Amino acid sequence: MKPGQIFKSIISSMAAILVALFQVALAQEGGKALPPPEKPASLMLARALMCEGIKEFEPHNQTIIFPAALGQAVCFTAFDPVPEKTEIYHNWYKRDQPRASFKLTLKPPKWASFSQIRLQSSDAGPWRVDITNANGKVFKTLRFSVTE
Amino acid sequence: MHKFLTFVSSIRWQDILDITFNGYILFRLYALFRGTDTFRVLIGIAFLWLMQRMAVSMGLILTSWMMEGITAVAAIIVIVVFRNEIRSVFRARNIWSILWGLPHKHTRTPVEIISKSVYALAQQRIGALIVLPGRKDMEEVVQKGIPWDGHISTQMIKSIFWPNNPVHDGAAIVRGDRVAEVSAILPLSQRRDLPLVYGTRHRAAAGLAELTDALIIVVSEERGTVTIAKGSELRTIHTEKDFKLVLRRHLGIREDQAGYLKKRRIELSAAAVSSLLIVFLVWFSISRGFDAIKSFDIPIEYANLSPKLELLSSSVTSVRVYVTGSGALLRSIRPEQIRVRLDLGKAVAGTNDYAITEDHLSIPPGLSLKEIRPMVVDVTLDERIRKVLPVQADWVGKLPAGLILVRARITPPEVEVTGPRTVLDDIKTLYTTPIPLNNITDSGTTKTGVVLPSALLTLSPKSQEKVEVAYEAGRTD
């Protein structure tokens, strides 16, 4: 190693030590340690309802009775906050028998989504929709009836 | 020999008790009614019954029907016609003498005194009429006299029939050592073959003798003779010795008392053995004769099921039981008399196999099990659990135009039910009875019941049978 190079490396090492010491001093000057990073807020179901349709991104005619002649039933859900991109499910049951399942993707910071089924007169009876996460945790159960 | 030994070994203690008990009843009937008309008619009825059974076995349908009818009618007639005789057998006897004691004639009647009195009356030409009853009841034929109840003595008999005595007309009835009644009026005989010398007293004696087994003594005041009437016979007895002999024979008093008692003992022993034999033969014909097979469909009864378990299902609900026995016995058996009972005390949740054996079966005595189909029954049990389930309204019908139901709230929102685990595992929701929408015009409440989807489920006692549904109505946009 040349004498010039040795000098440069000593200088740079000293500079690094000085920077480190400066940072420690700054920290001590504040009187406390740095706070831990904040835990992200969990997914929250803000609204869930059954309705006859969706108009302008909003549920139209909230109801629990769906005449089969109406042709469709809609399950509307709104989540706020949505901390991260995630998936939820709308599981539709007629008399405890699964009839349909929809996977819906939610994106931060908040998200509304819906699922809908076509109705026939043979669908008459009591129904429910379980709104769950990917692990099967039920956020809410919506109950309604399809009439002839 | 082998068959005989097999038969003897198959006799149960119940059979021996059965035969002995009924044999004794038959023997008692013989002892009580022996010598009466009732007994003779009963023998006749028994003979008719035997004939009827023979007619049945020979296939004589008409004869058997006729015999059966006659036997039934005869049995009723016996009770009606001989009611007094039957009553007199049981009357004046305590329960002990009916069940155990042997009837005996009154040997206390003082033959010597009667004899001496009668011949004294005859000698003095004083008319007399004395009745010594037999076993038959006389109540229907003798017009009741004046109760007397006096100890028999020569003086008393003389005084009763003394011409100036107000009670000298009519008959004196002697029971045991007492004059029971005096001035009794006897029925007159209608016979035309009686000697003309016989007057009213003789006709009365003949009349009663014809109708009963009594012995009647007549003393003629015209001729001073002593006449005895018994049955259809009227006999004048000239000597006191012969008179005593007739009296003793009627009263059952023997000179050779020891020999008489021995004969009587033999007779009763023979009757006892005959009774046992008859009952044995009847028992044999009913319980052992002509083996036949008959099948019965018997529902299975389950017992000792743990309260923690629930009977879910069984492969069969009844089994067909084939039993053997005599045709007569099998014809009289009703299915309710046979029971198949499974003890579920050791059963566990799941399927339990039970091989049905004779131990599970209860059949009337005299019958034996031939076969059971099916031999194995699968019984499925499940653990009984409680589960809290949400209740959902089951709306039906059609809402008026423009009306919608925005939401509904059920109170209580959940109910607890009890039932088999496998059934409850599949049930997530309970529904109300259908609630009609047609009549809804506005928000309101209604009470309705909860439908249990399986008969195996029951609402827990703390759960209400009805829930309240509050609904909120709105208008469509």
Residue to test with chain A: of B389, B398, B406, most A Cβ within 10 A: B406
- Residue B256's pLDDT band, with cuts at 50, 70 and 90, is low
Give which of B445, B444, B448 is closest to B435, Cα–Cα. B448
Examine residue B374 and say whether the peptide bond preceding it is cis (omega within 30 degrees of 0): yes
CA distances from B336 to B323, B333, B339 (A): 14, 8, 7
- Residue A49's pLDDT band, with cuts at 50, 70 and 90, is very high
The tokens for B283 are: 């028992």
Examine residue B412 and say whether the peptide bond preceding it is cis (omega within 30 degrees of 0): yes
Structural contact between residues A100 and A144, judged by C-beta atoms closer than 8 angstroms: no
pLDDT in tens, B393-409: 999 999 998 899 999 99
Angstroms from B476 CA to nearest CA on chain A: 6
Residue B234 within a domain? yes
Structural contact between residues B182 and B145, judged by C-beta atoms closer than 8 angstroms: yes
Angstroms from B430 CA to nearest CA on chain A: 9
Nearest-by-Cβ selection for B476 from A61, A143, A147: A61
**What pLDDT score does B257 carry?**
64
Structural contact between residues B48 and B70, judged by C-beta atoms closer than 8 angstroms: yes
Q: Is B117 found in the same domain as B195? A: yes
Nearest chain A alpha carbon to B427: A96
Q: Is B444 found in the same domain as B412? A: yes
Q: How many folded domains does chain B comprise?
A: 4
Give which of B458, B186, B109, B450 is closest to B307, Cα–Cα. B458
User: How far is B219 from B128, CA to CA, in rounded Å?
Assistant: 5
Nearest-by-Cβ selection for A147 from B427, B429, B437: B437
Q: Is B239 found in the same domain as B159? A: yes
Nearest-by-Cβ selection for A63 from B406, B426, B428: B406
Q: Is B144 found in the same domain as B167? A: yes
CB contact under 8 A, B392 and A128: yes
Nearest chain A alpha carbon to B398: A147
CATH of residue B297's domain is 2.170.120.30
Angstroms from B386 CA to nearest CA on chain A: 19
Q: Is B340 found in the same domain as B281? A: no
CATH of residue B451's domain is 2.170.120.40
Nearest-by-Cβ selection for A60 from B428, B431, B477: B477
Structural contact between residues B397 and B419, judged by C-beta atoms closer than 8 angstroms: no
**What pLDDT score does B334 carry?**
86
Ranking A15-24, B95-104, B140-149, B220-229 by mean pLDDT, the lowest is A15-24
A62 to chain B, any CB pair closer than 8 A? The answer is: yes
Bridge partner list, B301: B341
Nearest-by-Cβ selection for B397 from A52, A63, A147: A147
A140 to chain B, any CB pair closer than 8 A? The answer is: no
**What pLDDT score does A16 carry?**
44
Put the strands of the sheet holding A58-62 in their side by side order.
A58-62, A45-55, A72-79, A111-118
**What pLDDT score does B338 carry?**
92
> If residue B36 lies in a helix (H) or strand (E), which one and from where to where?
none
CA distances from B226 to B67, B127, B161 (A): 48, 10, 14
Q: Is B22 found in the same domain as B70? A: yes
Positive/negative CA dihedral, B250, B253, B255, B256: positive
Positive/negative CA dihedral, B63, B67, B68, B69: positive
CB contact under 8 A, A126 and B395: yes
Nearest-by-Cβ selection for B398 from A64, A96, A147: A147
Between A97 and B87, the higher pLDDT residue = A97
CA distances from A24 to A10, A29, A30, B210, B337 (A): 21, 8, 10, 152, 101
CATH of residue B228's domain is 3.40.1700.10
Give which of B64, B62, B38, B28 is closest to B49, Cα–Cα. B64
Residue B179 within a domain? yes
Residue where one domain finishes, among candidates B383, B404, B439: B383
Between B328 and B68, the higher pLDDT residue = B68
User: How does the average pLDDT of chain B come out, rounded?
Assistant: 86
Q: Is B212 found in the same domain as B224? A: yes
**What pLDDT score does B424 carry?**
92
Task: Give residues 73 to 102 of A whose Cβ lies within 8 Å of B.
Answer: 93, 95-96
Residues B84-115 as b or e (16 or more Cβ within 10 Å = b): bbbebbeeeeeeeeeeeeeeeeeeebbbebbb
CB contact under 8 A, A141 and B428: no
CB contact under 8 A, B394 and A126: yes
Q: Reduce the DSSP state of residue B60 to 3 states and report it.
A: coil
CB contact under 8 A, B406 and A62: yes
**What pLDDT score does B434 carry?**
96
User: How far is A38 from A26, CA to CA, in rounded Å?
Assistant: 22
Q: Report yes or no on whether pTM surpasses 0.90.
A: no
pLDDT at residue A138 greater than cutoff 60: yes
Residue B388 within a domain? no
Q: Is B92 found in the same domain as B56? A: yes
Q: Is B124 found in the same domain as B43? A: no
Structural contact between residues B467 and B409, judged by C-beta atoms closer than 8 angstroms: no
Between B141 and B219, the higher pLDDT residue = B219
Q: Reduce the DSSP state of residue B214 to 3 states and report it.
A: coil
Give which of B457, B427, B429 is closest to A127, Cα–Cα. B429
Residue B154 within a domain? yes
User: How far is A77 from A131, CA to CA, in rounded Å?
Assistant: 8
Close Cβ partners of A18 (under 8 Å, ≥ 6 residues apart)? none
CB contact under 8 A, B395 and A147: yes
Distance of CA B324 to the CA centre of its chain: 26
Q: Reduce the DSSP state of residue B344 to 3 states and report it.
A: coil
User: How far is B71 from B47, CA to CA, in rounded Å?
Assistant: 9
Give which of B364, B356, B316 is closest to B340, Cα–Cα. B356
What would the mean pLDDT of B227-235 be, rounded to a whole number? 90
Nearest-by-Cβ selection for B392 from A60, A62, A126: A126
CB contact under 8 A, A145 and B395: yes
Structural contact between residues B137 and B85, judged by C-beta atoms closer than 8 angstroms: yes
Nearest-by-Cβ selection for B477 from A61, A95, A96: A61
A132 to chain B, any CB pair closer than 8 A? The answer is: no
Over its C-alpha atoms, chain A yields an Rg (Å, rounded) of 29
Residue where one domain finishes, among candidates B251, B270, B299: B251
Tell me which DSSP letter residue B189 carries.
P
Angstroms from B425 CA to nearest CA on chain A: 11
Residue B413 within a domain? yes
What would the mean pLDDT of B139-149 be, rounded to a whole number? 83
Angstroms from B473 CA to nearest CA on chain A: 9
DSSP states along A7-64: HHHHHHHHHHHHHHHHHHHHHHHHTSPPPPPPPPPPP-EEEEEEEEEEETTEEEEE-S
User: How far is B117 from B219, CA to CA, in rounded Å?
Assistant: 10
ipTM, two decimals, is: 0.73
Give which of A107, A104, A109, A111 is closest to A132, Cα–Cα. A104
**What pLDDT score does B453 carry?**
92
Structural contact between residues B355 and B375, judged by C-beta atoms closer than 8 angstroms: yes
Residue where one domain finishes, among candidates B251, B277, B309: B251
Bridge partner list, A54: A59
CB contact under 8 A, A62 and B407: yes
Q: Is B31 found in the same domain as B136? A: no
pLDDT at residue A7 greater than cutoff 70: no
Task: Return the CATH superfamily for domain A45-147.
Answer: Macroglobulin (MG2) domain (2.60.40.1930)
Between B195 and B106, the higher pLDDT residue = B195
User: How far is B209 from A53, CA to CA, in rounded Å?
Assistant: 117
A13 to chain B, any CB pair closer than 8 A? The answer is: no
Angstroms from A55 CA to nearest CA on chain B: 11
For the purposes of burial, counting CB atoms within 10 Å of the CB of B169, is it exposed (0-12), middle (13-18) or buried (19 or more)? middle
**What pLDDT score does B445 carry?**
95
Q: Is B247 found in the same domain as B115? A: yes
Residue type, B396: V
CB contact under 8 A, B404 and A61: yes
The tokens for A143 are: 């109950």
- Residue A20's pLDDT band, with cuts at 50, 70 and 90, is very low
Give which of B297, B373, B371, B284 is closest to B329, Cα–Cα. B284
What domain range includes position B73? 2-102+258-287
Q: Is B399 found in the same domain as B341? A: no
CA distances from B229 to B155, B197, B369, B455, B466 (A): 24, 15, 64, 86, 93
pLDDT at residue A24 greater than cutoff 50: no
CB contact under 8 A, B395 and A64: yes
Residue B411 within a domain? yes
Close Cβ partners of B220 (under 8 Å, ≥ 6 residues apart)? B122, B127, B199, B201, B202, B226, B227
Question: If you search the block for the tokens 């349908």, which residue do you land on?
Answer: B61
Residues of B with CB under 8 A from a CB of A: 390, 392-399, 404-408, 426-429, 431, 437, 474, 476-477
